[in-house]
Structure 1
Amino acid sequence: MRFLSSRLVRRAFVALASLVVLLLLVVWIVGTVVLPSGPPDVEDSQLHAMSAAFGGDPAVSPERYEEWELTSFYLLMRDGVEIAVDLWLPGPLEDGVTLPAVVFPTRYWRRWETRFVSWGDRPWSMDRLLLSRGYAVIKTDARGSGASFGSRPYPWSPDEVSDYEEVVDWVITQPWSDGNVGVQGTSYGGTAAEFIAGLNHPAVRAAAVEFSLYDVYRDIAFPGGVLNEWFVSRWGMFNAALDAGTVPEVIGLLGKALVRGPAPVEYRWTPGGLAPLPDDGRPALQKAIAQHAANVNIEDAARRVAFRDQIAGPAGVSTDDFSPHAFHERAGPTDTAIISIAGWYDGAYARAALERFRQVPGADTCIVGAWNHGGRKGVDPFEPRNAEATPSRAVQRLAVLRFFDYHLKGQGTEPPKGLSYEIMGAGAWQHSATWPPAGSTMQAYHLWAGNRLVPQPDESLDGFDSFTPDLTHGSGPNARWRTQLGQDDVFYTGLTDAPGLLSFSSEPLETPMRIAGDPQLRLFVAADREDFAVYVYLEAVDPEGQRHYVTEGSLRAVCRGDGATPAFTSDAASSVIPGEVMEMTVPLLPVAMQIPAGYRLRLSLAGADSDYFARHPAQGPVTLTVHRSQMRPSALVLPLVAPHKMAHE
């Protein structure tokens, strides 16, 4: 019996060891595919896809290098804080050869240290594309994150932005630098790149700002004046794990097993050259991580404010103090050329890109596709779920490379200025000098009796509709607000099937409808409480009853401003008097979509999105009364463009 038990134990051990070896082999194979080490292939079909969607020539700079070298070091800032820097140089470089550089700022670890596999030492896809074309690549951990020293009072602080400026100053003094610098980033890094562009540093000639916010308050923290609880809480926990040098739970068990933490730094930059750090930089890494304990808890700070001008106690600033839109206003015009890339259903970041395009003079190249956060998934609701992005993420990168080629190298023709945007439901790309596109007109669909949406209301049917919203209603686990952390697909199921919603539907469309712009809901409403919020969902319903999400919007009543234009400052807050009818205009997020003939429009009003946003009122129910009459014309207002006017402008 004892012999049998020993044999079973040995067999179990062998089986487990074999499984581990097999798993590592699979991981290695997948890693080789996901994170290859050589230059990326650029196909003619990709170049033509770039040109077809975004305009311009189907060309980028030729491949020049197949190898590159990494050097990691600490760079001393003006206040004594050391910032972790990775320098990737293509090679071998001949004597006298100089290169433009692209700086990637991040607070999500500039590089991983991995176990069992060498993924952490490989450059990412965009890095390899740039390196193979003759660019230097510089990656930095923001102060208070990764392997950098210091602490973080709030995102994109003046000290953090000044650090990036000093990194640029260092770059242009190097013997391999030709003095031309670009900056690039996605999400947090995209916002950091925009701050660098706003500095108007003479060496920073171009910036690629991808899938990132423009107005901190409206785009991510408080859309519609309501705290984005889900994101703020989970982003805070995600960052706390990273700043402690640990792998966040969202990475999963396999990721936690393979990733040790942020990569340590091997050298310290000194006037006399690189000085090796003891023990491969691990003691320095631990000292840096210890300083991160002083980082401010962003969720705690966010919960202390309600308006964009209020000071969050722990941070000591308002959201506008670290928002790109306000930074541009303070800093003035920049000579840095900016390309913005965004996805229609990436939270509110399509609005961010379009506002940047409209307001920042140098940000006159903008691309918005039917993409999720990061641009890897296609989110057109008329297409299958979990589809790959079209054009692919690889093609999007080529558009950025072409932009850098022109602005940093002076190669090729200038990429088209203006807006390139995808019309969901049509699979077509359009080009415009403005947003909304020229020729768009605003069409009102009135909320009317019998839960109808009508272009021309019948005066004899003036009235109102009262309902008690279900304050547990949510938009589901795949809504646009979740993709910003997990880069998931975006789709809505059963969005307006729940009780406690008020819905209105149009007659079937006689001809296809093209929406391109910023819809809004003009609402005349009364409430029996002093605080509430309205959530608006627009869908297209096919003849069989299947619903296709179009867009959404939200607004807290105290942020209704003058009724026509919302206001989000404390001095503009408008109190709610129970029983009194008020006007509020709810902005819906921008969209471009073609809805087929025979479909109906469906507009639904809710009082909560409990899956993501804070509840108003915090306790108890609220009853809303929506008025619809000639005197109080509640209406959905859509920006429409005739199909024949949607040609390239």
Structure 2
Amino acid sequence: MQHPQPFKRRSRRLYAFFCALGLILALLGAQVPFQVGFAFDLPRNQALYVPMSDGTKIALDLWLPADLKPDARIPTVMRMTRYWRSFGLVDLPMESDPNYGDARRWNEAGYALVIVDGRGSGASFGSRPHPWSEREIEDYAEIVEWIARQPWSNGKVGSFGISYEGNATELLAAHHPEPLKAIAVQFNNFDPYTQLAFPGGVFNEWFVRQWSDGNQVLDANDRSFICVIQKLTGESCEAAKAVVTGVKPVDEDTDGELLKAAIAERRQNLNVYEAAKDITYRDDPFGDRGDTLVDFSPYHFQEEISESGIAIFARGSWFDAGTASGALSRFFTYDNPQTVTIGPWNHGGNFDSNPYNPPRHFVDPPFSEQLEELTAFFDAYLQDDAETTPPPSEIRYYTVGADEWKRTTVWPPEGVELRSWYLAPDGGLSPEAPRGDRAADTYAVDFAATTGTDNRWHTQAGGKDVVYGDRADADRHLLTYTSPPLTEDVEITGDPAITLYLSSTATDGAFYAYLEDVDEGDRVTYLSEGQLRALHRQISSETPPYRVFGPYHSFEREAGMPLKPGEVTEVSFSLFPISVLLKKGHRLRVAIAGHDADTFARYPASGHPTLTIRRDRRYPSKIELPVRGF
């Protein structure tokens, strides 16, 4: 047994740790409850198993308001996670609970809160053949029905989540359990293939490996997860693990045997990285069951979700993977009432990632106001005596550089026109089409080129801030084309698209295009990017499966086209959407790369290819920008 004074000192040290941990766990979906009695003669918090129709026991935490009266009937908001719904803590006061505030906020707003460990994760039984399996989502639908049967329920349920939980929420809507009236999907991936795992068909190897490794640690109930997400080492790591037992068991599991049995079942869980690294095409099998990424992508269920009529609250960011693309495509694909907000945030919305602001700049709107907006949305659809009216179906978006919030129901917004800027001699970028013959630039692919480790892709693993900084040094590894100084302010709002006429000395490759702003002092500010693996360059004439804003590539096996070394080919692809005001005197820049070393897989896997970019009358390489005011 430890002496009490050393333990108290350690507890004080760890208090700050758990406060900092709280926000991350909120993003991951964890929740640490405590026991308090209240007026309805039920514990304020219960951790329990709910059996599913196939007999599998799913763990959840139920939080009820402390002052709930016996005759009260209240709505419920639910969050489903695969990242431990809750921690087991040892001898720490209630105030050390990193997620206590979340439950209290929902309860004080008049809601029950339910947090669920997804099948094959946390304290739940079962296994995971792949993320968001059909059976996993069926579990959530059954839990919605279970909630509606409880004596304190008003029969109305909302579901919300960030990232993985957002996808689980969106897929739940496809099952349309009758009590589910509204959902909030935040910073999730409408199309996981193109918007996160394989943007442009390029394997996001860093993220997938990180995510897969983290899930394996969680599924083994390994407390080192705490040290990984907080970057703790040595004594600090050991101190944290001394007060965290792992995932929280349910109340009835007093000896831990149920949790041990649940953990044993997940030895069958899919290793996501091992499955993903074998994928090249969208229709390749993911795992050994024959399912593809399409089979658990939200867009695949657009008909069912539209027919549900469930109201949708969505958030995305210009700088968080492809979440803004997903939010826009969803808005114009589903028939549901939707309110969409796109800002300049990290993954989760708790950091301002506006590239014109310094790191740690205040968030607009503050995170507390974001939570108030979410609560007001659910109030309108779930509260029986709601005084809040449903928000309008529209897109609210932030223009960086102008620091303005704007609204639209069309995309790109009214008044925006496509203007072409052509690659020009001497690294220039010109609105005038080239007139000469056989003009070109060569680029030996620099496999040290990188966007760093604080980019739009790395934020998806834990929600850290997105900070590109001054890209001037990074651009020295790239092929750049820069315009003359702008003679007036120019707004770019929409999805830029680039067309390159190029040849390569290799049969495969990845092409990256970065849109940047160069100010009067030559500081280079990142605005957006796009990428495309050469193999996927064929533009499809088929109708896309959902609304897209630029060249459509199917990424299917039948469309694969290896390069022929030395042969000029057209490569056209979209950059991720952005809304930015470039100031008079600044210059536009397009930077071309063949690799992003800290994030993506290398194409080709070996060798040192050279690209030749044509920029002449016959092959006018260009970028098309959706502009207003130019």
Q: Normalising by the residue count of structure 1, what TM-score does the alignment of the two structures yield?
A: 0.87
Map Cα deviations across residues 42-87 of structure 1 (whole Å, 9 max, x no partner).
Answer: xxxxxxxxxxxxxxxxxxxxxx99x981011101111111000111
Q: Which moved more, 1:359-368 or 1:616-625?
A: 359-368
User: Take 2:14 and 2:179, find their aligned partners in 1: how far apart are those partners?
Assistant: 41
CA RMSD of aligned residues (A): 2.4
Change over 3 Å in CA distance of 1:500–1:541 after alignment to 2 = closer
2:365 corresponds in structure 1 to: 391
What SS does the aligned partner of 1:359 have?
coil
1:298 matched to 2:272: yes
Change over 3 Å in CA distance of 1:423–1:586 after alignment to 2 = same
Change over 3 Å in CA distance of 1:637–1:90 after alignment to 2 = same
Paired letter, 1:578: P
User: Take 1:167 and 1:84, find their aligned partners in 2: how far apart are those partners?
Assistant: 10
- Residues 346 and 352, structure 2, Cα contact 8 Å, conserved in 1: yes
Change over 3 Å in CA distance of 1:31–1:549 after alignment to 2 = same
User: Take 1:326 and 1:606, find their aligned partners in 2: how far apart are those partners?
Assistant: 32
Q: CA deviation at 1:447?
A: 0.4
Map Cα deviations across residues 253-300 of structure 1 (whole Å, 9 max, x no partner).
Answer: 344444221100014xxxxxxxxx443xx1111111111111010001
1:316 matched to 2:323: no
User: Take 1:422 and 1:125, find their aligned partners in 2: how far apart are those partners?
Assistant: 29
User: Take 1:573 and 1:92, find their aligned partners in 2: how far apart are those partners?
Assistant: 61
1:435 matched to 2:411: yes
Q: CA deviation at 1:621?
A: 0.8
What SS does the aligned partner of 2:294 have?
helix
Q: CA deviation at 1:431?
A: 0.7
- Residues 317 and 347, structure 2, Cα contact 8 Å, conserved in 1: yes
2:142 corresponds in structure 1 to: 166
Q: CA deviation at 1:314?
A: 3.2
Change over 3 Å in CA distance of 1:33–1:522 after alignment to 2 = closer
2:429 corresponds in structure 1 to: 453
User: Take 1:570 and 1:331, find their aligned partners in 2: how far apart are those partners?
Assistant: 28
- Residues 340 and 363, structure 1, Cα contact 8 Å, conserved in 2: no
Change over 3 Å in CA distance of 1:502–1:31 after alignment to 2 = closer
Change over 3 Å in CA distance of 1:345–1:152 after alignment to 2 = same
1:482 matched to 2:467: no
Q: CA deviation at 1:27?
A: 2.9
Change over 3 Å in CA distance of 1:300–1:198 after alignment to 2 = same
Paired letter, 2:248: A
2:34 corresponds in structure 1 to: none
User: Take 1:30 and 1:486, find their aligned partners in 2: how far apart are those partners?
Assistant: 16
Q: CA deviation at 1:496?
A: 5.3
User: Take 1:384 and 1:335, find their aligned partners in 2: how far apart are those partners?
Assistant: 41
Change over 3 Å in CA distance of 1:501–1:259 after alignment to 2 = same
- Residues 443 and 640, structure 1, Cα contact 8 Å, conserved in 2: yes
User: Take 2:16 and 2:442, find their aligned partners in 1: how far apart are those partners?
Assistant: 60
What SS does the aligned partner of 1:407 have?
helix
Q: Decide which of 516, 524, 527 is 1:547's aligned counterpart.
A: 524
User: Take 1:585 and 1:252, find their aligned partners in 2: how far apart are those partners?
Assistant: 40
Larger Rg: 1
1:28 corresponds in structure 2 to: 15
Change over 3 Å in CA distance of 1:622–1:505 after alignment to 2 = same
Change over 3 Å in CA distance of 1:341–1:211 after alignment to 2 = same
1:467 corresponds in structure 2 to: 443
1:382 matched to 2:382: no
Q: CA deviation at 1:330?
A: 6.1
Map Cα deviations across residues 354-383 of structure 1 (whole Å, 9 max, x no partner).
Answer: 211121221521001111011110011111
The alignment-based identity, stated in percent, is 36
Change over 3 Å in CA distance of 1:387–1:570 after alignment to 2 = same
2:382 corresponds in structure 1 to: 408
Q: CA deviation at 1:114?
A: 1.9
Q: Decide which of 156, 181, 184 is 2:157's aligned counterpart.
A: 181
1:51 corresponds in structure 2 to: none
1:79 corresponds in structure 2 to: 54
1:107 matched to 2:82: yes
1:252 corresponds in structure 2 to: 231
Q: CA deviation at 1:327?
A: 2.3
User: Take 1:328 and 1:264, find their aligned partners in 2: how far apart are those partners?
Assistant: 36
- Residues 296 and 315, structure 1, Cα contact 8 Å, conserved in 2: no
- Residues 445 and 453, structure 1, Cα contact 8 Å, conserved in 2: yes
1:631 matched to 2:618: yes
Output aligned runs, 1:262-341, within 5 Å: 262-267=247-252, 277-279=253-255, 282-329=256-303, 333-341=307-315
Change over 3 Å in CA distance of 1:386–1:315 after alignment to 2 = farther
Map Cα deviations across residues 219-264 of structure 1 (whole Å, 9 max, x no partner).
Answer: 1110110111000001001000001111322333344444221100
1:511 matched to 2:491: no
Q: Normalising by the residue count of structure 2, what TM-score does the alignment of the two structures yield?
A: 0.89
User: Take 2:434 and 2:606, find their aligned partners in 1: how far apart are those partners?
Assistant: 38
What SS does the aligned partner of 1:602 have?
strand
Paired letter, 2:61: D
Q: CA deviation at 1:629?
A: 1.7
Paired letter, 2:519: D
- Residues 500 and 621, structure 2, Cα contact 8 Å, conserved in 1: yes
2:558 corresponds in structure 1 to: 571
2:27 corresponds in structure 1 to: none
User: Take 1:502 and 1:33, find their aligned partners in 2: how far apart are those partners?
Assistant: 41
1:532 matched to 2:519: no
User: Take 1:232 and 1:191, find their aligned partners in 2: how far apart are those partners?
Assistant: 16
1:590 matched to 2:568: no
- Residues 197 and 334, structure 1, Cα contact 8 Å, conserved in 2: yes
Map Cα deviations across residues 530-549 of structure 1 (whole Å, 9 max, x no partner).
Answer: 10110111110110111111
Gaps of 5+ in 1: 1-13, 37-63, 268-276, 644-649
- Residues 337 and 393, structure 2, Cα contact 8 Å, conserved in 1: no
- Residues 566 and 584, structure 1, Cα contact 8 Å, conserved in 2: no
1:142 corresponds in structure 2 to: 118
1:95 matched to 2:70: yes
User: Take 1:99 and 1:460, find their aligned partners in 2: how far apart are those partners?
Assistant: 72
User: Take 1:438 and 1:265, find their aligned partners in 2: how far apart are those partners?
Assistant: 54
User: Take 2:567 and 2:625, find their aligned partners in 1: how far apart are those partners?
Assistant: 27
User: Take 2:315 and 2:104, find their aligned partners in 1: how far apart are those partners?
Assistant: 20
- Residues 47 and 62, structure 2, Cα contact 8 Å, conserved in 1: yes
Q: Decide which of 345, 355, 361 is 1:371's aligned counterpart.
A: 345
Map Cα deviations across residues 182-208 of structure 1 (whole Å, 9 max, x no partner).
Answer: 001111111101111222222111001
Change over 3 Å in CA distance of 1:437–1:616 after alignment to 2 = same
